[in-house]
């Protein structure tokens, strides 16, 4: 859930903590009721390398079972070299369960049937994947977290040879739906969707996408914060989170510019404001704890973000122009 600051910091010279209310999905990822599905015939997640021997790919797919992790080489829209790996190593898919579509109570997936299209895959995900995958995760799925419930189908050659396996599991995708490499098992992990320090993020409608800082973006991340460092037990209200994060993210903003009086002055001259995300109750109950502090420039009506370009610690622009020179301030007493 995207948070908004609710209180100004106590520092008498800096009261530009931004107040912006945004859609809850902005920093979240897909919700628990939306699932990534992959279509066959060139746009499938699993596309064999037709120039080589794909037998190993079919074996890796067909032998995969609950708790296994799969990885592959992503080459544009084509995936190659599908292998089963230890989940502690980088991987793109974690298997929660396997379903045999040949046992589906219709003749829909018979010997000559084509692979299901994207719409049908999504229906199958809801029917066959959601419940067992959620159970595999211990009943805890962050609705705005980084993991997406997804199905994958056999490589085209495997399907043509009669393999009707559908693997259900979880993956982390980027804004384009491409599976990203992660490490560790999903169950019991912090499912928060957050960005690393120095990352620039562009917010468009209800989507937040990491981009190079020289491209137009909405905020730049200054700190990764674990809410568990301050809160234990039941979910802390957004008001309580805001109260604590106001001080944390205000200090992070000054430190990001070098700290001390020089960092404070650089922040002032940047005209940017601290901003942070907060955690929803559903996300907290799923075990998520991580949020971001960032720097942004609000629009004049405080309903959105100005467009930044460039690293804020160097030469950067706000809506195409350099930050306006700020008047000299009285010293702190």
Mean pLDDT computed over 282-298 = 94
Q: What is the CA radius of gyration of the chain?
A: 23
The β-bridge partners of 151 are 168
Mean pLDDT computed over 43-62 = 52
Chain segment 293-318, per-residue pLDDT in tens: 999 998 887 778 999 999 999 999 99
Residues 222 and 252: beta-carbon distance below 8 Å: yes
Give the C-alpha distances (Å, rounded to integers) separating 49 from 46, 53, 76, 94: 10, 7, 12, 22
Q: For the full predicted model, state whether its pTM sits above 0.75.
A: yes
CA nearest 273: which of 320, 226, 323? 323
Mean pLDDT of the chain: 82
Distance, CA of 153 to CA of 40 (rounded, Å): 8
pLDDT at 7 over 90: no
pLDDT at 332 over 70: no
Joined tokens for residue 146: 């980084």
How close are the terminal C-alpha atoms of the chain, in Å?
Answer: 38
Cα 121 to the chain's mean position, in Å? 22
Chain segment 96-117, per-residue pLDDT in tens: 999 999 988 878 998 889 988 8
pLDDT at 16 over 90: no
Cβ neighbourhood burial of 72 (10 Å; 0-12, 13-18, 19+): buried
Which residue reads 């959601």 in tokens?
130
Buried b / exposed e along 26-46 (16+ C-beta atoms within 10 A):
bbbbbbbeebbbbbbeeebbb
pLDDT at 330 over 80: no
Q: What is the pLDDT of residue 57?
A: 63
Distance, CA of 43 to CA of 247 (rounded, Å): 47
17-21 LR contacts (CB < 8 Å, sep 24+): 17/246, 17/250, 17/273, 17/274, 17/275, 18/273, 18/274, 18/275, 18/296, 18/298, 18/302, 19/298, 19/302, 20/275, 20/296, 20/298, 20/302, 20/303, 20/304, 20/305, 21/303
CA nearest 91: which of 40, 11, 167? 167
pLDDT at 31 over 90: no
Joined tokens for residue 55: 């037998």
Question: Model confidence at 14, in pLDDT bands (50, 70, 90)?
Answer: very low
Tell me the three state secondary structure of residue 234: coil
Mean pLDDT computed over 131-136 = 95
Chain segment 165-206, per-residue pLDDT in tens: 999 999 998 777 788 899 999 998 999 999 999 999 998 877
């Amino acid at each position: 859930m995207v948070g908004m600051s609710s209180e100004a910091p106590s520092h008498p010279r800096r009261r530009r903590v931004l107040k912006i209310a945004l859609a809850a999905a902005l920093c979240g990822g897909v919700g628990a009721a939306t699932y990534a599905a992959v279509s066959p015939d060139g746009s499938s997640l699993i596309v064999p390398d037709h120039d080589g021997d794909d037998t190993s790919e079919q074996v890796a797919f067909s032998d995969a079972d609950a708790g296994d992790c799969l990885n592959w080489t992503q080459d544009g829209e084509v995936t190659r070299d599908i292998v089963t790996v230890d989940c502690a190593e980088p991987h793109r898919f974690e298997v929660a369960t396997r379903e045999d579509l040949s046992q589906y109570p219709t003749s829909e997936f018979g010997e000559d049937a084509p692979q299901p299209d994207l719409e049908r895959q999504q229906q199958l995900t809801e029917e066959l994947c959601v419940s067992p995958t959620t159970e595999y995760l211990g009943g805890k799925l962050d609705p705005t977290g980084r993991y997406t419930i997804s199905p994958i189908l056999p490589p085209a050659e495997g399907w043509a040879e009669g393999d009707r396996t559908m693997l259900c599991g979880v993956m982390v995708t980027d804004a384009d739906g491409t599976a990203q490499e992660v490490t560790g098992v999903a169950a019991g992990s912090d499912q928060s969707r957050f960005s690393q320090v120095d990352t620039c993020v562009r917010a468009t409608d209800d989507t937040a996408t990491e981009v190079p800082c020289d491209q137009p973006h909405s905020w730049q991340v200054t700190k990764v914060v674990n809410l568990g460092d301050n809160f234990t037990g039941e979910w802390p209200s957004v008001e309580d989170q805001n109260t604590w994060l106001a001080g944390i993210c205000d200090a992070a903003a000054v430190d990001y510019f070098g700290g001390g009086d020089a960092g404070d002055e650089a922040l002032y001259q940047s005209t940017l404001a601290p901003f942070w995300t907060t955690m929803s109750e559903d996300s907290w109950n799923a075990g998520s704890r991580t949020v971001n502090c960032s720097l942004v420039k609000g629009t004049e009506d405080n309903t959105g973000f100005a467009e930044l370009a460039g690293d804020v610690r160097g030469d950067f622009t706000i809506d195409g122009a350099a930050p306006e020179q700020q008047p000299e301030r009285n010293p702190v007493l």
